[in-house]
Amino acid sequence: MKIILANPRGFCAGVNMAIESLEKALGLFGAPLYVYHEIVHNRPIVERFRALGVVFVDDISEVPTGGTVLYSAHGVAPAIREQSKTRNLRAIDATCPLVTKVHMEAVKFAREGYTIVLIGHEGHDEVIGTMGEAPANMVLVEDEADVAALTLPPDTRLAFLTQTTLSVDEARVVIDALKRKYPQVVGPNKDDICYATQNRQEAVRTLAPEVDVVLVLGSRNSSNSARLAELATQTAHPAYLIDRVSELKDEWFGPTDTVLITAGASAPEEHVQACVEYLQARFGAEVESRVVREEHVSFPLPRELRVLVTS
């Protein structure tokens, strides 16, 4: 067996920042510490923090008045910030700056009188947060069929935005359909799919043709992890999305298979390494690391935390 380790894989700058923020906040304020939604969409990480006394809530009213709440990497709607203020909460904003950028684009387009088509997945935390910036001006579409079903007047002043963790190929199809139906539509210079999502997909697209099976470390509710598994499947290989090595099944592999291993932007490297070690021990796998693109991105801690850490 041969293992090809895809690079880049795993943690992105936004996830690194959000996790470090939560660790720092725990050190400063102790438990219980409240986080609005999962800090990142990864089960092992959420379980680890829960064991340390972090309470993940889906409603701000669950945070005791005067308590500390951290907003997850996926961002929040302005209404949530207002609720926190009303309840006199200390809020720490660990929203990824690339999500904040989409929020600012939404605000700008809405202010200029555009109707905004957001391309994204219904119910995803990031989409809920972005829609909350201009609820009266935004409509959500997931795919080409949704674009076909749009009933906006043909001369609508129209703009589009995208969720940061979409499939690059699928987003292109939806944007093209939108441009065919509403040629006047404007958008950001590039779509809003973030560098980490694009690079991880590029690595899978490049390397998957060389392998027999693809293993993606990540959680099912992680949009970018799920997109990696879908992309691998489209290259006609079986692809498995798992959180940890205990979910591996021997029958997925042949003894001389080449296995591509990658990880979504919220999946910890320790779970990649555990899978590598298992396949080495079980099938005598050799490992080759392949770099498709270099990444050198990092984001600072939220300002509220930087001030506290410094003082």
Which CA distances in Å does 96 have to 60, 119, 162, 301? 20, 18, 15, 10
Rule CB under 6 A: is residue 39 a binding residue for ligand SF4? no
The residues, any chain, with a CB within 8 Å of residue 305's CB and separated by 6 or more, are: 21, 24, 25, 28, 92
Q: Which stretch binds ligand SF4 (CB under 6 A): 81-89, 192-200, 225-233, 271-279?
A: 192-200
Rule CB under 6 A: is residue 35 a binding residue for ligand SF4? no
Q: Is the dihedral angle over the CA atoms 211, 215, 220, 225 positive or is it negative?
A: negative
Rule CB under 6 A: is residue 201 a binding residue for ligand SF4? no
The 3-state DSSP class for residue 263 equals: strand
Least Cβ distance, residue 84 to ligand SF4 (angstroms): 21
The Cα–Cα gap between 130 and 118 comes to 9
**Ramachandran bin of 254, using left for φ above 0, alpha for ψ from -120 to 50, beta for the remaining angles:** beta
- 126 catalytic, yes or no? yes
| Candidate list 38, 126, 133, 202, residue with the active-site label | 126
The 3-state DSSP class for residue 93 equals: strand
Closer residue to ligand SF4 (CB): 196 or 279: 196
Q: Which stretch binds ligand SF4 (CB under 6 A): 10-18, 50-58, 145-153, 272-280?
A: 10-18
Pick the binder of ligand SF4 from 5, 46, 96, 127 (CB under 6 A).
96
Q: Which stretch binds ligand SF4 (CB under 6 A): 92-100, 137-145, 173-181, 243-251?
A: 92-100
Count CB atoms within 10 A of the CB of residue 177: 18
Residues designated as active site: 126
Binding site for ligand SF4 (CB under 6 A): 12-15, 73, 96, 98-99, 164-165, 194, 196-197, 224, 265
